Amino acid sequence: MRGWRNGPLAVPGFRLLVVGQFASMVGDYCYAVALPWLVLGGRGGTAQLGTVLACYGIARVATIPLGGILADRYGGRRIMLGADVVRALAIGALAAVAAAGEPGLLQLAPLAVVLGAGSGLFLPASYTLLPALLPAEQLGRGNALSSMANQFGGVLGPSIGGILVALWGSTPALAVDAGSFLLSAAVLLGLRPRKADPVAEGSPSEAETDGPGFADVLRRGRLLHVVMVVALVCNLAFNGTMEVAFPDWAHGSLGAADYGILLTVLSIGSLVGSAIAAKAPATQQPARLLALLAVVMGIGLAGVPYAGGAIGAGACIAVYSVASGWQNIVVVTMLQTWTPTRLLGRVMSMVMLAVTGSFPISVAAAGLIVHRIGPAPFFPVAGLTIAVTVALALAQPAFRRHRHGQAFAS
């Protein structure tokens, strides 16, 4: 009750945002189930599915920097609202195409490009909204609660999408996704950021004159440099493990049912990690906490194929995902408080580029490595890479000496 009265949930706009995020995540997972079944159920097969996903991924990566620029110029809420409306229309068109018959690549590829571009614009803008809704001292808990809403949606969404597709096909699941975007847009339309934050309303007159500019932060922001390198290397290790080595190991050693359960454990562990971050007081030395959590993540990931079957693997994945969920909240909160508010969209777009841009390289390299050495040895290599990368980051004074609430200074 104290948290309700005095914490982030006491802010009406934040409560609305959490509801919108939950609905949007449920819709996203309905789409994640419906699209493969729609494509694979026709004549296109895996080649067409891969092409459609590539169109989505390339468009998303290409528009992330633009999303950061537009969010800083016009306000994150407006960019998120526009992206949600455009994606609702695109998904609605896809649902109509699916209802009319078997869609071909010429129909699917342009819609995938629109959806990917919408996601790319939305991502960096979404990180600018919480600082406009909440005071700095509540950002950590706000990020954690927001992440928990997304993860609840990630737990429920696949089941809802699977039931809809199994009973009535892909069209109803796609319609649910379109409706979730419209609900998210309605929530954003009703939000009113704090008046004390003019950037939240996207005042174009807020120019690069007061305080440091984006070029200054990009050139001299040593903390940003360290975080981007850590994000790039850790995601290179993680994506290849979870997208290639993990399913290959589970396919050979476990089975589809166990694999699905382990993915659920991954989502629930991230949810628990976010809950811990919401409850824990803000640490004054975030770098040391991040390094400790990275070591825990590395140990958990390394042990997955050697822990004695599904139960042991589930325990290792739980350890990894709890630490990872906690670490993500600490990193995001650290960047939000360190970055000048009017530059937050562009700074977060750079971090998102490091995170998402590594995906194609990671999965391609993992495919070659796993083919040569097998899936099991890949896990300890990836775990060691994550732990060592964050530990080495402590050698950088800007990272090691950073304190909670410390802002960028030229």
Rounded to whole angstroms, the Cα distance separating 163 from 290 reads 39
Token duo for residue 45: 């097969």
Token duo for residue 312: 């042991």
Report whether 353 contacts 65 (CB < 8 A).
Answer: yes
* 72 closest CA partner among 380, 289, 343, 365: 343
- Helices 344-357 and 45-74, axial angle in degrees (round to 10): 160
pTM score over 0.75: no
Q: Which residues, given as ranges, of the chain have pLDDT below 50?
A: 4, 195-208
DSSP codes of every residue in 47-106: HHHHHHHHHHHHHHHHHHHHHHHHHHHH-HHHHHHHHHHHHHHHHHHHHHHHHHS---HH
Tokens 């802002």: give the residue: 407
DSSP state of 254: S
DSSP state of 243: I
Report whether 16 contacts 191 (CB < 8 A).
Answer: yes
**pLDDT recorded at residue 303:** 93
- In the structure, how many helices (H) and strands (E) does the chain have? 18, 0
Quick one: fold of 214-400? Growth Hormone; Chain: A; (1.20.1250)
**pLDDT recorded at residue 128:** 86
DSSP codes of every residue in 181-209: HHHHHHHHHH----TT-GGGGT-TT--TT
Q: Which residue type occupies 400?
A: R
**pLDDT recorded at residue 256:** 60
Is domain 10-201 classified as CATH 3.40.50.300?
no
Token duo for residue 328: 């993500």
User: In terms of C-beta density within 10 A (0-12 exposed, 13-18 middle, 19 or more buried), how is residue 217 classed?
Assistant: buried
Rounded to whole angstroms, the Cα distance separating 224 from 219 reads 9
Q: How many CB atoms are located within 10 Å of the residue 366 CB?
A: 24
Rounded to whole angstroms, the Cα distance separating 97 from 37 reads 14
The dihedral sign for the CA sequence 117, 118, 121, 127: negative
**pLDDT recorded at residue 241:** 85
**pLDDT recorded at residue 198:** 43
The answer for 324, left when phi > 0, alpha when psi is -120 to 50, beta otherwise, is: alpha
Rounded to whole angstroms, the Cα distance separating 223 from 217 reads 10
**CATH 1.20.1250.20 domain position(s) in the chain:** 10-201, 214-400
Inter-CA distances, 407 with 58, 207, 354, Å: 33, 19, 22
CA dihedral 380, 256, 356, 284 (to 10 degrees): -60
